[in-house]
């Protein structure tokens, strides 16, 4: 059920006694988002969706990450939040550009630079395990009767295999965003990042792999991204990002499965699941 945003705004102290206008914003697969205009100021009202606990989202850690990123100029400023309900008020930033085309060398350099700034953050946060998250989502889906296709366990086994391989030479954990799809990056004066629900301490290669996979980088662009981030390039870096790209795909696939099994409109995820399954099987 879609919440009544007007009733929610009326209960937020910063809007008490003020007039405001409300406009629904597109996008957002987990939450409901609105633009709230009051006087000369515009804000984004985020109302948390129903599947927070099943998706492993911790709102307190999200706000800690978002605040640190905002202070570093990477994310919009936070004005008010209620971690119990998942309600968040942040600054509305008018986009003055996008990442099209995200394959240009200059854009790749910008992405690498902002990722390095993300990975320098040090807010409170828990470890983020791609494999642990995938296995948790698979368990949730199984409990709710999801019919896994033949060969699916082979995909999960490949995730475990890659995780063991990656652990052999993983460096110190860095703070990572862990959900870098195209909808979460935009220009507003400079490159910004939205949606810090999955942020936590982990391997920077997962963020790099998210960019490479979600923007469909080929081998040449992947090499450019790695060289821009690390300043050098070696074969092991190529291997690591490829393994992480598979984990990113499986993270997205298992996330879709949870949504499919638990939301009223879950059937809308069927096409995404089918496509991601086909891609994962072809890569396994």
Distances (CA, A) of 221 to 42, 178, 200, 231, 250: 37, 20, 26, 14, 22
Look at residues 74, 97, 103, 117 and name the one whose alpha carbon lies nearest to residue 225.
103
pLDDT at 172: 94
Residue given tokens 């009733």 in the structure block: 7
Contact yes or no for 280/257 (Cβ under 8 A) = no
pLDDT in tens, the chain (284 residues): 678 999 999 999 999 999 999 999 987 777 899 999 999 999 999 999 888 889 999 999 999 999 999 999 999 999 999 999 999 999 999 988 766 667 788 899 999 999 999 999 999 889 999 999 999 999 999 999 999 988 999 999 999 999 999 999 999 999 999 999 988 999 998 999 999 999 999 999 999 999 999 999 999 999 999 999 999 999 999 999 999 999 999 999 999 999 999 887 778 899 999 999 999 999 98
Dump pLDDT digits (tens) for 207-266. Answer: 999 999 999 999 999 999 999 999 999 999 999 999 999 999 999 999 999 999 988 777
pLDDT at 98: 67
Element (H, E) at 37: strand 32-38
Q: How far apart are CA 232 and CA 160, in angstroms?
A: 28
pLDDT at 115: 98
Domains of the chain: 5-91 (3.30.200.20), 105-283 (3.90.1200.10)
Look at residues 81, 103, 102 and name the one whose alpha carbon lies nearest to residue 91.
81
For residue 22, give both structure tokens: 């409300």
- pTM across the whole model: 0.94
pLDDT at 26: 85
pLDDT at 182: 86
* Burial status of residue 52 (CB atoms within 10 A of its CB: 0-12, 13-18, 19 or more): middle
Sign of CA dihedral 140, 200, 167, 179: positive
DSSP state of 80: E
Element (H, E) at 204: helix 204-214
Q: How far apart are CA 252 and CA 51, in angstroms?
A: 15
Q: How far apart are CA 182 and CA 184, in angstroms?
A: 5
H helix runs in 93-203, sequence order: 105-118, 130-143, 152-167
DSSP state of 76: P
């Amino acid at each position: 059920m879609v919440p009544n945003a007007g009733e929610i705004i009326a209960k937020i102290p910063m809007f008490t006694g003020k007039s405001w206008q409300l406009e629904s914003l597109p996008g957002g697969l987990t939450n409901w988002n609105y633009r709230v205009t009051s006087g000369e100021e515009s804000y984004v009202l985020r109302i948390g969706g129903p599947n927070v606990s099943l998706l492993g989202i911790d709102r307190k850690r999200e706000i800690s990450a978002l605040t640190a990123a905002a202070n570093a100029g990477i994310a919009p400023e936070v004005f008010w939040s209620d971690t119990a309900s998942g309600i968040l008020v942040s600054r509305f930033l008018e986009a003055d550009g996008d990442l099209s085309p995200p394959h240009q060398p200059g854009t790749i350099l910008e992405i690498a630079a902002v990722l390095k700034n993300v990975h320098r953050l040090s807010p409170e946060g828990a470890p983020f395990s791609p494999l642990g998250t995938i296995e948790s989502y698979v368990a949730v889906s199984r409990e709710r009767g999801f019919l896994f296709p033949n060969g699916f366990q082979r995909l999960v086994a490949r995730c475990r295999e890659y995780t063991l391989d990656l652990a052999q030479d993983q460096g110190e954990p860095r703070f990572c965003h862990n959900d870098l799809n195209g909808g979460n990056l935009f220009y507003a004066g400079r490159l910004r990042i939205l949606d810090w629900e999955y942020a936590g301490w982990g391997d920077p290669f997962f963020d790099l792999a998210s960019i490479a996979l979600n923007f469909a980088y080929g081998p040449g662009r992947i090499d450019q991204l790695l060289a821009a981030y690390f300043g050098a390039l070696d074969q092991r870096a190529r291997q690591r990002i490829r393994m992480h790209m598979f984990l990113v795909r499986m993270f997205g696939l298992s996330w879709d499965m949870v949504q499919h099994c638990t939301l009223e409109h879950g059937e809308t995820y069927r096409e995404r699941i089918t496509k991601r399954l086909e891609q994962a099987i072809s890569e396994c």
